[in-house]
Structure 1
Amino acid sequence: MPHLNPVDALDLDSELDDDERLIRDTVAAFVRDHVNDHVAGWFEAGTFPTHELAPVIGKLGLFGMHLDGYGCAGASAAAYGVACRELEAADSGLRSFVSVQGSLVMFPIHRYGSEEQKQEWLPRLASGEAVGCFGLTEPDQGSDPGGMRTVAKRDGGGTSRSSEAESGGDWILNGTKMWITNGSIADVAVVWARTEDGIRGFLVPKGTPGFTTSEIHSKLSLRASVTAELHLEDVRLPSSAVLPGVTGLRGPLSCLSEARFGILCGVVGAARTCYLSALDYSTTREQFGRPLAGFQLTQRKLAGMQVGLVHSQLLALRLSKLKDAGRLRPEHVSLGKLANVRAALDIARDARTILGANGITTEYPVLRHANNLETVLTYEGTEEIHTLVVGESVTGHAAYR
């Protein structure tokens, strides 16, 4: 009887085209050659070699790979999904670095920026010469971004109507942003602020007077990732710093949908790594005179992990196809993030129990992934928020308040 392939039991990667399989293999090779032997040490030390990895990742064309022009690869959603999967198979911090750059920084510039903003920033961000961050979450406003306190006013205390917002004059920004990936190392921040006309996006370059950052330490999760707080105190920006193409929450929420797609695909890689670690360990570790894999309770765990992994792979593939067809809705993305992060976390936890005490060390990747997934469960939309998005979609009733 032939064995199921634990990596891809249903041979779903056969649905990929040649370019998508090439991207899969290229990213997997990059992770193998540049990340796998070092990531446990980065996690333990609480560091991430941004400036060493960014040019390599840029050369591979992974930053903003799903965008067209300006140095971007113009790859399919399915290709972006498998790239995120192979990145997160190493660590969620690595995938987060790439998806923040592409989906939260490059995407809004590409979609809503002026031609001058695109020309200035997109080629540099695509190559890895520049690094960006996305400032939406605040210390007191996480799941309800509409309540943000960061404000932008026209110079002199007044504001202008949105039709005049880019016509001249400076903006003054004040506020604080929290839990910002890449925040302290970014060359440019996409900061969302409240104006009289609604929420607007601003490009804030590093070194702008009044713009400072402070790195967040003592994390127990996503340690191989840079996380910071952004402080804006009377930050003066020219009118050319405004993203002219959008006003209101539609702007930042569309960016989050892009990034969440990368998450729902990426966590499949984390789940796969945990499952394979547990499967390998169970076949070599002996207790009571035989391998752990020979016990029924262990097989029950392994079979459950295989089922969860297959479900996640199917969902990621289907949503990738919908995105490429232009039919992916925000509700689909919420469904995917809710289901796949939950499944990945369950797989990581079950895998840890098979490894026993060895599972709590950095010698094995399982608890590192589990700790990271605890953050992935709540960032870019908590499990509860995505539950309510799906609930509203199926009932027609919003239940957020």
Structure 2
Amino acid sequence: MIKTYLQLLVGCATLFCLPAKAQSPDSSTALYVAVHAGSPLFWGDFSSTAEKLRLGYGGGLSLGYQLNKWMATELDVNFMKGRLDANKWQTTDLLDDNGVIRYTKGNFKASSVYSKTTVLQVGLRLPISVFRLFDADKKFNIAIAPHIYLNKFNPGIYAIETNKKVTDGAKVTTWSYSAGGDIGFSYKLAHGKAIFLQSALSWLSDDKFEGITTEPAWRDNLMLYTRIGIRFNLGKKKNGVAPTPIQSTVAVASPKKEEVVEVTNPSQPLVNQPNSIEKTQEKQKDTNPNELLSPIYFKLNKATIDETKHAEILNRMLQLANLYPQLPIVIEGWSDTSGPVAFNNSLAQQRAEALASYLIQQGVDQKRIQVVGKGSDKQLGRSAKARRAELIFIINP
């Protein structure tokens, strides 16, 4: 029954995830790596929770790829060790040298020995972020993940009195497989890191994983692996610009009355529209270049520009920067008030640097640009409008 349930879980979750895998990766696509330490528990012919709880230990490494805001695929490599003891009802059972419980004949009493096993796991997880189905900016997340692993077990049978190996028990000569699912909790930290806690239940296909088997075999073999670790993002978002260090100074500018600037085909970069510049110059001789410059907005705790979303305003900024090459530029970065002051100040600086980096990459002279990290905007509080970067032309430098 447990085996059937876990296999159905893996199958249904995999089918559910196929549409997500077929999609083109969006702006949340990223490569990541994770390291963890954990503790396994085993249930088979012997058990990790027999007369006394025997916590195992282990660790591992994961390499993952975030397909979109709620779906990832992950390659796992784990190594674990555990101890299993006989249950109360097995104290009179007998084992032979091959680790077979024959009940009435054998060389060892089940109550006088215990089993040790090590396992190397290589497999695939498909984490599905429950909270991020609704809001990609949440720091706290719950994820469920079907998984399937290949397992290589190395068991042995030891005497309780001497702690010496008495036999290898039932030999495991090939890799076996396991299938199941896990539930995990994670919390995003700054700078592309997250801590996580996961608990995975797996059905084991090999009844010899602890060096013991029965004739006939009748028991479902299970493993529970609970792990805690940290995840690091390695890749950059595809539809964005990462900030680069820019020399920071403080400047003050007072924008004048707003007037309308006419922009020709804002979906294309300015450098490809020389005619539009000439037309704009004719109509803009006596106007203030700060008009119609909306801020660039950022996601929570992010400092990466979504170029697709802000294409129009980015092109307008480039047009005006080229139209008024004599004017210095100040870029101000802001954050909301939801985090610590030091973190918000750093994030505001990074947002200003991201916009400056974009302009420089498009040909704007770096010497014209001053970057100012303003920190938290207390007037706008925790609203999305507080998470922004603004470009200001200095009219009277």
Q: Tell which structure's C-alpha radius of gyration is larger.
A: 2
TM-score range (shorter-chain normalised) is under 0.3
Which structure exhibits the higher relative contact order, with contacts defined as CA atoms closer than 8 Å and separated by 6 or more residues? 1
Q: Which is helix-richer, 1 or 2? A: 1
Normalised by the size of structure 1, how large is the TM-score? 0.24
Q: Which is strand-richer, 1 or 2? A: 2
